[in-house]
Amino acid sequence: MSGKTSSTFWNSCKNGLRVQFYVQPGAKMTELVELYDSDRIKVRLQAPPVEGKANKELTKWVAKECGLPKSSVQIVKGETSREKTILLEGVTELPALFSSFCTTEKKGSKK
């Protein structure tokens, strides 16, 4: 893949794909929710936002759902924020887990 390709919540880079999330920790279960403010995927995490537990759950869950090794998924921006950017290292195409959000209209909004 040459150059940069992007959508509202993801873009390709030389190392793989970057996917932007809005995280809601402390939920009953971990799940994707909706496209949030048209540029992030909202995900609820069961883990609490303490001592990096939510970050660890997010990267582990994304790796599992995308069929990637844990070492290929890393938070590159927003470690202490609800808005996070994750690098999917070595990935050249958007995983099916996220592809339904490419045509989804804006549903959420920041408060």
Predicted confidence at residue 68, as pLDDT, reads 95
Q: What is the dihedral of CA 17, 5, 77, 56, to 10 degrees?
A: -30
pLDDT at 104: 39
Q: Which residues of the chain have pLDDT under 70?
A: 1-7, 103-111
Please give the pLDDT value at position 98.
Answer: 84
Q: Are 38 and 16 in contact (CB under 8 A)?
A: no
17, burial (CB in 10 Å: exposed 0-12, middle 13-18, buried 19+): buried
pLDDT for 101 equals 78
pLDDT of residue 105: 41
pLDDT at 103: 55
